[in-house]
Amino acid sequence: MQEDQPQEAAEEPAPSIGALECDPGVVPSDSQNLSDVDAFKILLEMKMKKRQKQPSLPGTVTELVTEEGSKVYVVGTAHFSDDSRRDVVKTIQEVQPDVVVVELCQYRVSMLKMDEKTLLKEAKELSLEKLQQAVRQNGVMSGLMQMLLLKVSAHITEQLGMAPGGEFREAFKEASKVPFCKFHLGDRPIPVTFKRAIAALSFWQKVKLAWGLCFLSDPISKDDVEKCKQKDLLEQMMAEMIGEFPDLHRTIVSERDIYLTYMLRQAAKRLELPRASEAEPRKSIPSVVVGVVGMGHVPGIEKNWSTDLNIQEIMSVPPPSISSKVSRFVVKATFFGLMCYGFYRVGKRTVTLILSMTATRWSCLQRLAEIRPQK
């Protein structure tokens, strides 16, 4: 399994020397003759000067420290909140991190590069093509569950006129402005989460949950979103629907708390400084990390921060149970049954239409034959 290191975005933000605010008194005039090590030290020194020793951080930020002395600033966000975007920007600017970790996996990384208008359109449109893609990617039941959860997100998007993931896009932009700042994807892959969630439910629990998701229509205001700073809106709505399914809550929330904690701690390894030669001893300094996660995950991350974590178990997908096999069969049978019925109805109407046209034509010919002798 390749989950021991943080997932990096497809295009990691790279520091641009030309974009930095250089201090003429720091950079030597003969900068073209600088070695890579000297250039690194100069840029790192500039970064340290911009890093606030006592940063003024929003109230949504939780500070955690590793055993090695690295600092992790976890920004708890509401996924549909303008205030959360501003909190992320301010935190990154204040602490000038070495790594930014966001609550995304490789299956959702595309939202980092899309503009708000495109995302808003994509979030509102749940097409048959998206359903087929979800089923191919995750299987029938997990794919349907993913589409139902996307429906919840689309409902919020439609109510607020705001695309999800704005805080992650802001984190991506701000990380690109910080020298030597890496950008990591810290969430468990969606297929694993949904497959484990489906496996935790009985057949009737799946039916009941799907029913609740299908008929979600309560209005949501922007004030409701900001009130949900203590718990992410999307996850709060989900929690209200899955409250009677503790196993589902465990797989969707608690297990991801563990995974996010593990990835944040991996990102917070000490930063190794470059050496001018092999003979020079290795040196490292504590790193600074900013984590951007839904507010609902912050208590779990704090709880798991000082415990020994093993993510092998929560990354495995259990074999399908008998109820899962039955439900999969029922879904497939229903789907193909509806398709066959649809073809039958269309075919029946087509045959009826053809027979009707033939009968009409034959009747017209008979009338013409009867008329001709009278002339």
The predicted structure's pLDDT at residue 144: 60
pLDDT over threshold 50, residue 110: yes
pLDDT over threshold 50, residue 318: yes
Percent of the chain with pLDDT over 90: 30
pLDDT over threshold 60, residue 165: yes
Contacts of 332 (CB under 8 A, 6+ apart): 140
8-state DSSP, 109:
G
8-state DSSP, 253:
I
Query: Which of 54-58, 74-78, 333-337, 364-368 shows the lowest mean pLDDT across its residues?
Result: 333-337
Other C-beta atoms closer than 10 Å to the C-beta of 137 total: 14
The predicted structure's pLDDT at residue 23: 36
Query: Which of 26-30, 43-47, 215-219, 292-296 shows the lowest mean pLDDT across its residues?
Result: 26-30
The predicted structure's pLDDT at residue 15: 36
Q: Record the tokens describing residue 330, joined without a space.
A: 């029922």
Q: Record the tokens describing residue 177, joined without a space.
A: 């402005």
Query: Which of 186-200, 211-225, 303-317 shows the lowest mean pLDDT across its residues?
Result: 211-225
Residue 341 confidence class, pLDDT cut points 50, 70, 90: low
pLDDT of 31-42, one tens digit each?
Answer: 456 677 778 888
Cβ neighbourhood burial of 164 (10 Å; 0-12, 13-18, 19+): buried
- Give the separation between CA 99 and CA 194, rounded to whole angstroms: 28
Please compute the mean of the pLDDT values over residues 5-13 and round it to a whole number. 49
Instruction: Tell me if the pTM is above 0.85.
Output: no
Output the average pLDDT for the chain.
74
Phi and psi at 101, nearest 5°, equal -115, 130
| Residue that has been written with the tokens 């990691």 in this structure | 12
The predicted structure's pLDDT at residue 236: 59
Q: Record the tokens describing residue 374, joined without a space.
A: 């009278």
Decide: 98 and 269 in contact? Cβ < 8 Å. Answer: no
Give the residue, 153 or 290, on which the prediction is more confident: 290
| Residue that has been written with the tokens 């009867």 in this structure | 370
pLDDT of 76-88, one tens digit each?
Answer: 998 778 889 999 9
Please compute the mean of the pLDDT values over residues 44-53 and round it to a whole number. 84
pLDDT of 217-266, one tens digit each?
Answer: 556 566 665 555 445 555 555 555 555 667 777 888 899 999 999 999 99
Q: Which amino acid is at 169?
A: R
Residue 63 confidence class, pLDDT cut points 50, 70, 90: very high
Give the residue, 249 or 352, on which the prediction is more confident: 249
